[in-house]
Amino acid sequence: MLSGQYPTQYFLEKHNLLVFSDISKAVQKGDVRSLEIGLKTHHRLLLRKGLYLVTQRLKIVAYRNLLVITHKLMNNVKMPVPRVLSCFHAAGTSLSQAELECVLANMIFRGVVKGYISYAHKTMVVSAKEPFPALNESLYA
């Protein structure tokens, strides 16, 4: 999932990994709130299996996927941070503007988003050609 490839329901059932079903769907849809609920629900199992820290890394992928949806809605390379924050709040996240800017900067640093943040204009500017490179090409994969 960190590389942008998601398991099918058949695969999860076949290998008795249904615990990852809701987590996988949440990451795919950019549903950070459902991802956090799924991680809390299966917290002990993930810790026992040594997967908790790995699954925590899925949050940045979920935020990226939510940003992709936000970018499509705005249909512009210049995205005002307050409007991005409004879209994130509508999706159920509870980030402050400072936290959102930190998440956005982290995504840019990790290479999952190509762009920059203009703090003077409170705007995120993404690449016009390829704003969201494939996850397997980023530093995060």
> Among 61, 39, 63, which residue's Cα sits nearest to residue 52?
39
For residue 118, the cross-strand partners are: 123
pLDDT in tens, 55-86: 888 999 999 999 999 999 999 999 999 999 99
Place of tokens 């026992």: 48
Torsion-angle region of 127 (φ positive above 0: left; ψ -120 to 50: alpha; else: beta): beta
| The CATH number fitting domain 64-137, selected from 3.40.50.300, 1.10.10.10, 2.40.37.10, 1.10.8.60 | 1.10.10.10
Give the global pTM: 0.88
Q: What ranges do the domains of the chain cover?
A: 9-56, 64-137
CA distances from 100 to 10, 13, 53, 103, 122 (A): 35, 35, 21, 5, 11
**pLDDT tens-place string over residues 40-50:** 999 998 899 88
